[in-house]
Amino acid sequence: MESIGIVGAGLIGRAWAIVFARAGHTVRLWDGMAEQRQAALSIIGERLKDLEAAGLVKDPPAILARITAVDTMGEAVRDADYVQECLPEILDLKRETFAELDRLAKPEAILASSTSTMPASSFTEGVKGRARCLVAHPVNPPYLVPLVELSGAPWTSAATLERARAIQAAAGQKPITVQREIHGFILNRLQGALLNEAFRLVEDGYVTPEDLDTTIAHGLGLRWSFMGPFETIDLNAPDGLADYCRRYGAVYHDMAKQQADPRVWSDRLVASLESGRRQALPAANLGERQAWRDRRLMALAAHKRAMDARDGG
């Protein structure tokens, strides 16, 4: 088993602690804010109870016992084989932190960032051991949504990427490798394309926000919860993907030309969407609805795990 160091005990840091401890690794968790450190284990313990109730973990006390909250960054990373940084999206902070992690961690340790916006090259160029640095971008919360995007800088070694992928896969995650640095990585670029078209369709009066959400939740999202777009179209034509492209490629090309003029999400449109969402869900109830979302994700994760086991996936 690996020794894992986690820097940052907020929402993402605590979630990563669950991922790695659930897999049997020892985890040391640190945050610069004492109140975050003090609250972390209690919050993690409550999440583990929820996961046990959903059938996703066994023996929460044993998992929790593998996680230790420590008082210094050095304690968190000095013996770590793999370090996951989970600090705020501030470039100078990332640069300073990775320089310090490179100094504190043993030379063979992997240094990974949870950033969702910054390429690894933007904060690791000046790091002496930069070949061992990369982005490991999770989807929140990673203990329920297992995708993790591994994106190295031009100087990240192939061995670092390969070993990080192996560690993530062994922990039950679904790692993908971003072959070259690109703004937004892969998931957010796909999400952005869908969001941009969703905003356009609502703004131009083709559909209501409520019906747009229904289209995804009860249409595309059902298929996409267990297969991707290429497999989807492969199964949507009698003779597979090439047949689908022959049948519909020109139609999608015409639609793409209509979508080729990107728009800023206008204040007026955002205010209208916000008003509609707050009528449907008052701000005071956001936390309750987020808990509902997580319970639904737990049920989906349990279902997918059972189906994967049945199908040998």
Q: What pLDDT digit, counting tens, does each position of 206-251 carry?
A: 999 999 999 999 999 999 999 999 999 999 999 999 999 999 999 9
pLDDT of residue 309: 87
Give yes or no: residues 194 and 46 share one domain: no
Task: Say if 308 falls within a structural domain.
Answer: no
Sign for the CA dihedral angle at 41, 46, 48, 49 comes to positive
The β-bridge relationship of strands 82-85 and 110-113 is parallel
pLDDT at 96 over 90: yes
Look at residues 178, 198, 216 and tell me which one is the last residue of a structural domain: 178
Give yes or no: residues 174 and 193 share one domain: no
Give yes or no: residues 206 and 151 share one domain: no
Give yes or no: residues 89 and 28 share one domain: yes
CATH number, domain with residue 264: 1.10.1040.10
Task: Say if 116 falls within a structural domain.
Answer: yes
pLDDT at 189 over 90: yes
Region 267-271: mean pLDDT is 97
Confidence of residue 199 (pLDDT cuts 50, 70, 90): very high
Region 277-302: mean pLDDT is 94
- Spell out the alpha helix ranges (H) of the chain: 11-22, 34-53, 60-65, 73-77, 91-104, 121-124, 158-170, 187-203, 209-215, 221-224, 229-234, 241-258, 267-280, 286-311
Give yes or no: residues 141 and 201 share one domain: no
Give yes or no: residues 169 and 197 share one domain: no
pLDDT at 306 over 70: yes
Give yes or no: residues 196 and 149 share one domain: no
Give yes or no: residues 165 and 236 share one domain: no
Residue 17 near residue 84, CB atoms below 8 Å: no
pLDDT of residue 261: 86
pLDDT of residue 84: 98
Average pLDDT, the chain: 96
pLDDT at 86 over 80: yes
Edge-to-edge strand ranges of the sheet holding 110-113 = 67-69, 26-30, 3-7, 82-85, 110-113, 133-138, 147-152, 174-178
Region 124-138: mean pLDDT is 98
Task: Say if 307 falls within a structural domain.
Answer: no
pLDDT of residue 160: 98
Give yes or no: residues 48 and 157 share one domain: yes
Give yes or no: residues 68 and 171 share one domain: yes
pLDDT of residue 1: 82
Look at residues 143, 178, 213 and tell me which one is the last residue of a structural domain: 178
Residue 58 near residue 89, CB atoms below 8 Å: no
Q: Give the count of beta carbons closer than 10 Å to the beta carbon of residue 181.
A: 16
Confidence of residue 313 (pLDDT cuts 50, 70, 90): low
Angle between helices 11-22 and 34-53 (to 10 degrees): 50
Q: How many domains does the chain have?
A: 2
Give yes or no: residues 142 and 205 share one domain: no
Look at residues 146, 178, 210 and tell me which one is the last residue of a structural domain: 178
Q: Residue 224: give the domain boundaries.
A: 187-280
CATH number, domain with residue 84: 3.40.50.720
Task: Say if 290 falls within a structural domain.
Answer: no
Task: Say if 129 falls within a structural domain.
Answer: yes
Region 133-140: mean pLDDT is 97
Tokens of 173: 């995650």
